[in-house]
């Protein structure tokens, strides 16, 4: 395994700057997901780590050794892509064994390794078959087995399961997570799917516009997003945003929106001091409820409800601002019914009004 450090990493494609001088560290054996929308720089970052793209500026280090000029094949990095690119004319066994034969390993060790990884990936019964006829999930597992069989120092996965159906994705996530827990690989997983990132990774690196917006544990990224982009990109259903006004009075800091004023909890005092005027309040749908159960309530009308298996999504219009809340399946207000929405102030978030563009871009 290997630790990874990037210093002021830049990637340019002609006049286009795809990665903007980012810094990060990944510990030996850590699982990090790089999460962000298309074009945010996540795949370019991973390809520079792999040696598939030259570094425009900055440096990458494996275990403290600068690897900018080390060829991709000499970095001991394995990769798995959305396209598994199996060799159609040879067996599954030989597909998995291919990198070991290319490295000149003896047959006994090849056989031991192939059968070991095939067992872990539930491929033993398929070893004599050729790739034709494999399901997408089986083919992806063969691709993962081929990447892992040579025991790389770093394992990179670029959108490896985005093309699979829901059932296969859940199964592949289980395989990937169990492989990391058993072998403690240093793993970097590139995805636009927040559910995958939050479920699999030890830490999540959220990227946008070629910059790292936040790098933290899944819980921190969800509960304490650094800015409005992270708050809006992470979380399902999406977070609720509303324009607000923050001011300091004789009783301390308050926030006002939709005709209501609330004394802010102490944890938001630094954010309030930084904003001090027009701001952006945010609250996740799970921290809203129907009824008068909080010091901060809003009156609105239901305009849509979505009944899901284990919860209902209720969409409420409050003076032109639309809020989404998550409710128990038994809570089923009628369309156009006037309701009271309670906001849990302990989960309220505040951001500068200038960050509104970042989440507006997400909805565009």
Interval 195-214 mean pLDDT: 96
Confidence of residue 357 (pLDDT cuts 50, 70, 90): low
Closest CA to 349 of 278, 255, 216: 255
Query: 162-171, 214-223, 232-241, 355-364: which range is least confident on average?
Result: 355-364
Q: How many domains does the chain have?
A: 2
| Domain end residue (candidates: 183, 200, 230) | 230
Query: Do residue 189 and residue 244 come from a single domain?
Result: no
pLDDT at 230: 97
Query: Do residue 156 and residue 98 come from a single domain?
Result: yes
Burial of 153 (0-12, 13-18, 19+ CB in 10 A): middle
Q: Which two tokens stand for residue 13?
A: 């494609």
Is the Cα dihedral 283, 286, 290, 293 positive or negative? negative
Burial of 143 (0-12, 13-18, 19+ CB in 10 A): buried
Interval 196-213 mean pLDDT: 97
Round to whole Å and give the CA distance between 79 and 43.
12
Round to whole Å and give the CA distance between 139 and 34.
24
Query: Do residue 346 and residue 211 come from a single domain?
Result: no
Interval 209-215 mean pLDDT: 98
Query: 149-153, 163-167, 212-216: which range is least confident on average?
Result: 163-167
pLDDT at 283: 96
Close Cβ partners of 219 (under 8 Å, ≥ 6 residues apart) = none
Residue 127, pLDDT > 90, answer: yes
By the 8 A CB rule, do 300 and 316 touch? yes
Residue 251, pLDDT > 90, answer: no
Interval 123-127 mean pLDDT: 96
CA atoms within 13 A on the CB side of 329: 5
Q: What is the pTM of this model?
A: 0.90
Residue 53, pLDDT > 70, answer: yes
Confidence of residue 160 (pLDDT cuts 50, 70, 90): confident
Query: Do residue 195 and residue 310 come from a single domain?
Result: no
Beta-strand runs (E) in the chain: 4-13, 16-26, 31-35, 57-62, 65-66, 77-81, 154-158, 186-191, 203-208, 211-216, 240-249, 252-257, 260-263, 278-283, 288-290, 296-307, 312-318, 321-327, 338-343, 349-352
| Domain end residue (candidates: 199, 230, 261) | 230
Interval 232-246 mean pLDDT: 95
pLDDT at 358: 61
pLDDT in tens, 68-121: 999 998 999 998 877 778 999 999 999 999 999 998 999 999 999 999 999 998
pLDDT at 250: 83
By the 8 A CB rule, do 313 and 324 touch? yes
Strands in 57-62's sheet, in edge-to-edge order, are 16-26, 4-13, 57-62, 65-66
Exposure letters 38-49 (e unless 16+ CB within 10 A, then b): eebbbbbbbbbb
Query: Do residue 107 and residue 195 come from a single domain?
Result: yes
Query: Do residue 305 and residue 185 come from a single domain?
Result: no
3-state secondary structure of 324: strand
Identify the domain containing residue 325 by its residue range: 231-361
Closest CA to 280 of 248, 246, 247: 246
Query: Do residue 172 and residue 253 come from a single domain?
Result: no
Query: 21-25, 138-142, 199-203, 355-359: which range is least confident on average?
Result: 355-359
* CA distances (Å), origin 3, targets 29, 31, 64, 80, 222: 7, 11, 8, 19, 25
The domain spanning residue 74 has which CATH number?
3.40.50.300
Confidence of residue 360 (pLDDT cuts 50, 70, 90): low
Interval 41-53 mean pLDDT: 96
Residue 238, pLDDT > 90, answer: yes
Residue 217, pLDDT > 90, answer: yes
pLDDT at 36: 96
| Domain end residue (candidates: 230, 259, 290) | 230
pLDDT at 263: 87
Closest CA to 139 of 167, 119, 115, 168: 168
Q: In sequence order, what DSSP letters do the residues of 263-278 get, joined into one string?
A: EPPGGGHHHHHHH-SE
Average pLDDT, the chain: 92
Q: How many CB atoms lie under 10 A from the CB of residue 93?
A: 20
Query: 25-39, 43-57, 350-364: which range is least confident on average?
Result: 350-364
Confidence of residue 278 (pLDDT cuts 50, 70, 90): very high
Interval 4-11 mean pLDDT: 98
pLDDT at 323: 96
Interval 204-227 mean pLDDT: 97
Q: Which two tokens stand for residue 352?
A: 């500068």
Query: Do residue 24 and residue 83 come from a single domain?
Result: yes
Confidence of residue 300 (pLDDT cuts 50, 70, 90): very high
Query: Do residue 186 and residue 75 come from a single domain?
Result: yes
Residue 212, pLDDT > 90, answer: yes
Round to whole Å and give the CA distance between 364 and 359.
9
pLDDT at 162: 82
Burial of 338 (0-12, 13-18, 19+ CB in 10 A): exposed
3-state secondary structure of 336: coil
Query: Do residue 328 and residue 266 come from a single domain?
Result: yes
The domain spanning residue 321 has which CATH number?
2.40.50.140
Confidence of residue 361 (pLDDT cuts 50, 70, 90): low
Query: Do residue 29 and residue 168 come from a single domain?
Result: yes
Query: Do residue 72 and residue 111 come from a single domain?
Result: yes
């Amino acid at each position: 395994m290997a630790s990874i450090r990037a210093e002021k990493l830049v990637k340019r494609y002609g006049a286009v700057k795809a990665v903007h001088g980012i810094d990060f560290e990944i510990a030996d054996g850590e699982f990090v997901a790089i999460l962000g929308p298309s074009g945010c720089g996540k795949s370019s970052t991973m390809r520079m780590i792999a040696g598939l793209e030259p570094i425009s500026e900055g440096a990458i280090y494996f275990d403290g050794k600068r690897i900018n000029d080390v060829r991709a094949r000499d970095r001991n990095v394995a990769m798995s892509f959305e396209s598994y690119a199996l060799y159609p004319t040879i067996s599954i066994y030989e597909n998995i064994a291919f990198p070991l034969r290319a490295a000149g390993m003896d047959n006994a060790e090849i056989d031991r390794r192939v059968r070991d990884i095939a067992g872990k990936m539930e491929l033993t019964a398929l070893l004599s078959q050729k790739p034709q006829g494999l399901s997408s999930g089986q083919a992806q597992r063969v691709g993962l087995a081929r990447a892992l069989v040579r025991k790389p120092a770093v394992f990179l996965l670029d959108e490896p399961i985005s093309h699979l159906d829901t059932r296969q994705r859940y199964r592949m996530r289980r395989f990937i997570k169990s492989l990391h827990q058993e072998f403690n690989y240093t793993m970097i997983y590139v995805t636009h799917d927040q559910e995958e990132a939050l479920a699999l990774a030890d830490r999540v690196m959220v990227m946008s516009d070629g910059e790292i917006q936040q790098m933290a544990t899944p819980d921190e990224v969800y509960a304490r997003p650094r800015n409005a982009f992270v708050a809006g990109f992470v979380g399902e259903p999406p977070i609720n945003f509303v324009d607000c006004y923050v001011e300091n009075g004789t009783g301390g800091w308050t926030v006002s929106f939709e005709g209501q004023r609330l004394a802010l909890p102490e944890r938001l005092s630094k954010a309030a001091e930084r904003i001090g005027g027009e701001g952006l309040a945010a609250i996740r749908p799970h921290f809203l409820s129907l009824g008068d159960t909080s010091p901060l309530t809003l009156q609105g009308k239901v305009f849509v409800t979505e009944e899901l298996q284990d919860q209902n999504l209720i969409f409420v219009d409050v003076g032109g601002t639309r809020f989404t809340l998550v409710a128990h399946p038994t809570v089923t207000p009628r369309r156009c019914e006037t309701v009271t929405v309670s906001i849990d102030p302990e989960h309220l978030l505040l951001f500068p009004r200038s960050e509104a563009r970042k989440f507006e871009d997400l909805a565009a």
